[in-house]
Amino acid sequence: MADRVAGPTTRIEGPDGIEGPDDVRAALRLHGYLADQGLATVVYLALVLHRPLLLEGEAGVGKTEVAKVLARWRASDLLRIQCYEGIDVSQAVYEWDYARQLLHLRAAEARAEGSGRPVPETVEDELYSERFLVRRPLLAAIASPKDRPSPVLLVDEVDRADDEFEAFLLEVLSDYSVTVPELGTFHAVVPPVVVITSNRTRDVADALKRRCLYHWVEHPDFEREVEIVTVQAPEVLPVLARQVAAAVERIRALGLYKPPGVAETIDWAQALAALGVRTLDEASVAATLGAAVKYREDAERVREAGIAALARAAVERAGVERAG
């Protein structure tokens, strides 16, 4: 048998004490987020390779929360851009504080008038100095102070923004720099941790995808969803948490227009607990279905499939403990 020749190995430094996806998973859990192996792996890679993370998936699967939990865990700032149609540079990157610039100019003019001299030429430069620059999240993320942990930049629901914004984002993420014509170029000393989310109402451009590490976030499986409810809503009895997770799992299989997300599962469990429900039955499900299903047609679909049967099946499923 031939000896294996060991190639050169480069060890990439991860965040403090983090040596692999399992450590990431544990750290996220400690801060209230339960990730599966796939997500923990891609988060780990994003951290060690300093690559933006693009999380795509249906609404309510826990994409935005990833950015929030990363900021909690790393005790860093969370800088959030909520995308919408027509979002532009002034909301995402920077703008000039016109009102304060105007005040500054007026004051200079008043001083000049008082002294009988013309307004000094330096005033114009002063107007376009950092003092009057309003840093929006993208610039704040790039130009964040060196002595703080690198911030988490959340670009939320990028599918709502238009192509131009996406192209601009790609430009910023390719070299982590932003140019303000009047001031010069800001360059990130340490790149921010970037989380981009998309609900996939349209496809994100290939170029942006290529720049990012990509992960499709699925609804959690039954056992993980039970755990999420237990962690996020400890007041809900474990038995009820299991039944609600089981009911949601079934509802998701109905092919609804808007299947319930994790937030709905948590809400539903809390609503039932608040009503003192201990075991799901037809009446309690019918009375609280609006916590889980938010469209009339979807609610109709659930009723057609049978609410009594849904409650029975959920109770039965909940009673089956995880094997192994």
Ligand X SMILES: Nc1ncnc2c1ncn2[C@@H]1O[C@H](COP(=O)(O)OP(=O)(O)O)[C@@H](O)[C@H]1O
Q: How far is the CB of 275 from ligand X (least distance, A)?
A: 21
Q: How far is the CB of 40 from ligand X (least distance, A)?
A: 10
Residue 239 CA to residue 291 CA, distance in Å, equals 19
Minimal CB distance residue for Mg ion: 64
Under the criterion CB under 5 A, does residue 232 sit at the interface with Mg ion?
no
Residue 92 CA to residue 140 CA, distance in Å, equals 10
Q: What residue type is 284 in one-letter code? A: S
- Count other Cβ atoms within 10 Å, centred on residue 257: 11
Which of 34/172 has CB closer to ligand X? 34
Helix (H), strand (E) at residue 210: helix 206-211
Find which of Mg ion, ligand X, none residue 136 binds, CB within 5 to 8 Å per kind. none
Under the criterion CB under 5 A, does residue 198 sit at the interface with Mg ion?
no
Q: How far is the CB of 197 from ligand X (least distance, A)?
A: 6
Tokens 């008082």 — which residue? 114
Q: How far is the CB of 42 from Mg ion (least distance, A)?
A: 17
Minimal CB distance residue for ligand X: 62
Which of 15/220 has CB closer to Mg ion? 220
Residue 160 CA to residue 163 CA, distance in Å, equals 10
Residues that bind ligand X (CB under 6 A): 32-35, 57, 59-65, 197, 220, 228, 232, 261-263
Which of 53/142 has CB closer to ligand X? 53
Which of 178/266 has CB closer to ligand X? 266
CA distances (Å), origin 83, targets 2, 160, 301: 56, 6, 32
Find which of Mg ion, ligand X, none residue 33 binds, CB within 5 to 8 Å per kind. ligand X
Find which of ligand X, Mg ion, none residue 228 binds, CB within 5 to 8 Å per kind. ligand X
Q: How far is the CB of 21 from ligand X (least distance, A)?
A: 15
Find which of Mg ion, ligand X, none residue 77 binds, CB within 5 to 8 Å per kind. none
Which of 62/192 has CB closer to ligand X? 62
The region of 14-22, 27-35, 59-67, 300-308 touching Mg ion under the rule CB under 5 A is: 59-67
Which residue in 40, 46, 55, 64 binds Mg ion (CB under 5 A)?
A: 64
- Count other Cβ atoms within 10 Å, centred on residue 289: 21
Residue 148 CA to residue 138 CA, distance in Å, equals 16
The answer to whether residues 297 and 261 touch, using CB atoms and an 8 Å cutoff, is: no
Q: Please state the length of the chain.
A: 324
How big, in percent rounded to 5, are the helix, strand and coil portions of the chain?
A: 50, 10, 35
Residue 43 CA to residue 213 CA, distance in Å, equals 9
Find which of Mg ion, ligand X, none residue 263 binds, CB within 5 to 8 Å per kind. ligand X
Closest CA to 84 of 147, 157, 3, 24: 157
DSSP 212-232: SEEEEPPPPPHHHHHHHHHHH
Helix (H), strand (E) at residue 36: none
The widest CA-to-CA distance across the chain, in whole angstroms, is 95
Under the criterion CB under 5 A, does residue 41 sit at the interface with Mg ion?
no
Which of 34/81 has CB closer to ligand X? 34
The region of 56-64, 164-172, 223-231, 288-296 touching Mg ion under the rule CB under 5 A is: 56-64
Q: How far is the CB of 237 from ligand X (least distance, A)?
A: 19
Residue 111 CA to residue 93 CA, distance in Å, equals 33
# residues contacting Mg ion (CB under 5 A): 1
Q: How far is the CB of 232 from ligand X (least distance, A)?
A: 5
Positions touching Mg ion (CB under 5 A) are 64
